[in-house]
Amino acid sequence: MSIFSPLNPLEPLALETERVVLRRWRKSDFKPFARMNQDPMVMEFFPRRLDADETRAMIRRIESGFEEHGFGLYAVELKENNGFIGFVGLSVPKFSTHFTPCVEIGWRLSSEYWGRGLATEAAREVMRAAFHDFGLEEVVSMTAIPNQRSRRVMEKLGMTTLPDDDFDHPLVPEGPLKRHVLYRKRR
Ligand SMILES: CC(C)(COP(=O)(O)OP(=O)(O)OC[C@H]1O[C@@H](n2cnc3c(N)ncnc32)[C@H](O)[C@@H]1OP(=O)(O)O)[C@@H](O)C(=O)NCCC(=O)NCCS
């Protein structure tokens, strides 16, 4: 469900599902997000963990993405305790490769909330908004090949992958995480 701005009825301010609210970022999200970005489980499939300054810079980039595109990586708030538990949303990759320009759906949740279907529930709503509120034709998702949890979320969203779409992520250093799989879904 989209919650629209009273000033611009075409601009969704936030999205909502049964268990979560997907909203713009608040100051209070910084601490729990910085903690997540230091958690080796959460960051297992990224080249490295992020320090506090990198987390701050990431939130700034996410928020400027919202200003530029009208959508972004939403802060996820769990309704049962009003707590910040991570992000799910859309972004526009800045690197270029065979499938760019594109809009990517992505997620990162605090490990204590994994395994409850929350990423999939939030991502289904983001996918709906991508096609119906934002009028996108295609959404892609990508991850390091061994990241089975994330791939499972992509599959549950009805996204599909082709072997020819596998690619070496230009921003990931040489090593076991460089090779990525790409999933796509069309409107
Ligand atoms: C990926 C992530 C968002 C999933 O969050 P989540 O709320 O636990 O996801 P869901 O519960 O909706 O779905 C996870 C699915 O993966 C499955 N799964 C969990 N561990 C798995 C594993 N080791 N191998 C295969 N599947 C696995 C779950 O069983 C579930 O599938 P099911 O519903 O068919 O049983 C979360 O693990 C995360 O934040 N990971 C770290 C950040 C990250 O890697 N982000 C993606 C980078 S591209």
The response to whether residue 114 sits with its C-beta less than 6 Å from ligand 1 reads yes
User: Is there an atom of ligand 1 within 6 Å of 119 CB?
Assistant: yes
| CA–CA distance, 104 with 35 (Å, rounded to integer) | 24
Two tokens, residue 56 = 């701050």
110 lines ligand 1 (CB under 6 A): no
| 39 pLDDT higher than 70 | yes
The domain defined by 2-186 carries CATH number 3.40.630.30: yes
Whether 131 is in the pocket of ligand 1, judged by its Cβ within 6 Å, is no
**How much is the average pLDDT of 107-116?**
98
- Specify the pLDDT at position 6: 63
**Residue 122 alpha carbon to ligand 1 centre in Å:** 13
Domain-wise residue ranges, the chain: 2-186
Specify the pLDDT at position 10.
Answer: 59
- pLDDT score of 4: 66
Phi, psi at 9, each rounded to 5°: -65, -10
State the distance from the centre of ligand 1 to the C-alpha of 126, rounded, in angstroms: 17
Q: Is 154 in the pocket of ligand 1 (CB under 6 A)?
A: no
**Integer Cα distance of 70 and 48 in angstroms:** 29
Sequence-distant (≥ 6) Cβ neighbours of residue 103 within 8 angstroms = 90, 91, 92, 130, 136, 138, 139, 140
The yes-or-no verdict on residue 170 having pLDDT over 70 is yes
Average pLDDT of span 71-96:
97
User: Distance, CA 158 to ligand 1 centroid (Å)?
Assistant: 15
Ligand 1 within 6 A of CB of 17: no
Ligand 1 centroid to residue 5 C-alpha, Å: 32
Arithmetic mean of pLDDT, 20-33 = 97
Q: Distance between CA 60 and CA 46 in Å, rounded?
A: 20
Nearest ligand 1 atom to alpha carbon 114: 8
